[in-house]
Amino acid sequence: MSRPVDAEPRPPGMRGATRVLLERELDLAWSGGGGPLLACGFFACLTAVLPLAVGGDPRTLSPVAGGIAWLALALASLLSLERLFERDLEDGALDLLAIGHLPLESVVLVKALAQWIAVGLPLALTAPVAALALGLPVSLAPLTAVSALIGGAGFACTGALGAALALGAKRGGLLIAVVVLPLFIPPVVFGAGALERATAGQSPAPALAFLTAYVLFAGVVAAFAGAAAVRNAQG
């Protein structure tokens, strides 16, 4: 049955609204110079600088390869966080999002999801390469990718929370880092710990379980706290 031509268009519904926002966020992430590639480039630079800093001896590098890869992952995830909400605040889109179809909590999560897909995914693919370059055993490459993927979701959620909190503040980038890095400690510990356990021949499963649990927790906290922070910033 066809609708009358001049009737109100059917509203998009939650799924549609989510999809539209997600597409927009991914578009924004990839536009303006390929942000995700920049993050990977930063990751690669960190990986290159480390051996130059501590000496290229595999005996020094290999034990810390997993940990360093995770540290670089955390730092690279901090990039492009500053603009996550700020761009929308500046051009008024944030006000529209706030009164729009999706609850603000969902908006925060969708933005975090977009961050994960746009930045976290490429980083998760770069991480095993970096770790191998630092001397991680080849057999651990898949585990590195998987743990980086899960951890990336945690970084995206917590990072989104930090970006929302720092909205409208001076020195946003550094402020987000100072606020968010202590909160990054659990995923870094669990992720790097998974690699360590695996290197020692033990099962990484408990560590991965903790990591997943953290990601879920971070998602919930980021949704509610991030929404509160955004409402606060709008005034």
Partner 1 sequence: MFGLSNPQRFMDFTGPLTPVLWTAAAVLLAVGTWLSFSVPADYQQGDTVRIMFVHVPAAVWGLGAYSALGVSSFFALVFRHALADAAARAAALPGAAFTALALFTGSLWGQPMWGTWWVWDARLTSVLVLFLFYLGYMALRASIDDEQKGARAAAVLGLVGLINLPIVKFSVDWWNTLHQPASFLTPGASGLDPVYLPPFLTMLAAYGVLFLALWLTAIRTEIRRRRVLTLRARQVLEA
> Shortest gap between Cβ of 88 and partner 1 (angstroms)?
17
Distance of alpha carbon 98 from alpha carbon 106, whole angstroms: 10
> Shortest gap between Cβ of 66 and partner 1 (angstroms)?
11
> Shortest gap between Cβ of 189 and partner 1 (angstroms)?
4
Task: Please name the residue ranges forming H helices in 116-140.
Answer: 121-133
Q: State the distance between the two ends of the chain, measured CA to CA, in whole angstroms.
A: 46
Query: In this structure, which amino acid lies at residue 55?
Result: G
Nearer to partner 1, 30 or 217 (CB): 217
> Shortest gap between Cβ of 173 and partner 1 (angstroms)?
11
**Interior angle at CA 70, CA 68 and CA 73, nearest 5:** 110
Whether 119 and 80 have beta carbons less than 8 Å apart is answered as yes
Distance of alpha carbon 187 from alpha carbon 180, whole angstroms: 12
Dmax over Cα atoms in the chain, in whole Å? Answer: 74
Nearer to partner 1, 34 or 168 (CB): 168
Nearer to partner 1, 43 or 214 (CB): 214
Residues of the shown chain interacting with partner 1 in the complex, contacts defined by CB under 8 A:
161, 165-171, 175, 178-183, 185-186, 189-190, 193, 196-197, 210, 214, 217, 221, 225, 228-229, 232-233, 235
Whether 113 and 121 have beta carbons less than 8 Å apart is answered as no
> Shortest gap between Cβ of 22 and partner 1 (angstroms)?
25
Nearer to partner 1, 11 or 182 (CB): 182
Nearer to partner 1, 145 or 189 (CB): 189
Nearer to partner 1, 39 or 163 (CB): 163
Whether 191 and 146 have beta carbons less than 8 Å apart is answered as no
> Six-digit token pair at 115?
């961050």
> Shortest gap between Cβ of 1 and partner 1 (angstroms)?
49
Which residues have a Cβ under 8 Å from the Cβ of 178 and sit 6 or more positions away? none
Radius of gyration of the chain (CA): 20
